[in-house]
Amino acid sequence: MKRVIDFCLALICLIIFSPLFVICYLAIRLEDGGPALFKQERIGLGGKPFNILKFRSMTLNGNRDEYALFKHEKNENLTRIGRFLRDHHLDELPQLWNVLRGDMAFIGPRPERQYYIDLIMEKDPRYQLLYQIRPGVTSYATLYNGYTDSIEKMLIRLEMDLYYLEHHSIWFDAKILFQTFLYIMFGKKF
């Protein structure tokens, strides 16, 4: 039932937000001429890799460390448009396509890169339990733990994701989705 709801909701959102997609796409392309979409391998349901989609928020030739952990406020490689997109969570809009395809759900543990999963599992092997459900665009942990910019916060996020795994339901998902919507509407950072 959750997959059917996610599919239908993603399809509706893709249609409703299509003008916003076009605006974001054009703004990114006009700023520096580079590609508007960014994809990165993440690990999903059953431990299988998939490519997560986002609007590109970083410069084309920036000096980036692929595995650096830092909050975006400190990141000098963000474009002006990219900073705006991240501040308003608009960079996440292309993940609606990931939900439609079945790579992700609206609600579930945020998908991580294999590099960080390996670091987390060295400290807590229970991470593999998260492979039982689809990763989400938003999560219980995202709302209450915010951006994970350290291994310590990743371990706290893991505890919260395991709580979600044990207690997830349609009603819990609806509550998380509603709170995410409120946070975005009122500009709360998370």
Q: What is the pLDDT at residue 185?
A: 84
d(CA 72, CA 147): 9
Cβ-Cβ contacts under 8 Å for 144 (sequence gap 6 or more) = 160
Q: Which domain holds residue 53?
A: 2-185
Residue 176 reports pLDDT greater than 90: yes
Residue 190 domain-assigned?
Answer: no
pLDDT digits (tens, 9 = 90+) for 143-166: 988 778 889 999 999 999 999 999
Residue 79 domain-assigned?
Answer: yes
Residue 86 domain-assigned?
Answer: yes
Residue 20 domain-assigned?
Answer: yes
Residue 138 domain-assigned?
Answer: yes
Q: What is the pLDDT at residue 54?
A: 97
On whether the pTM is more than 0.95, the answer is no
Q: Can you list the alpha helix ranges (DSSP code H) found in 60-150?
A: 80-87, 95-101, 114-123, 140-145
Residue 73 domain-assigned?
Answer: yes
pLDDT digits (tens, 9 = 90+) for 74-117: 677 899 999 999 999 999 999 999 999 999 999 999 999 999 99
The total number of structural domains that make up the chain: 1
Residue 71 domain-assigned?
Answer: yes
Helix (H), strand (E) at residue 11: helix 2-16
Give residue 65's pLDDT band: very low, low, confident or very high (50, 70, 90).
low
Residue 100 domain-assigned?
Answer: yes
Q: How many CB atoms lie within 10 A of CB 146?
A: 15
Q: How many CB atoms lie within 10 A of CB 105?
A: 27
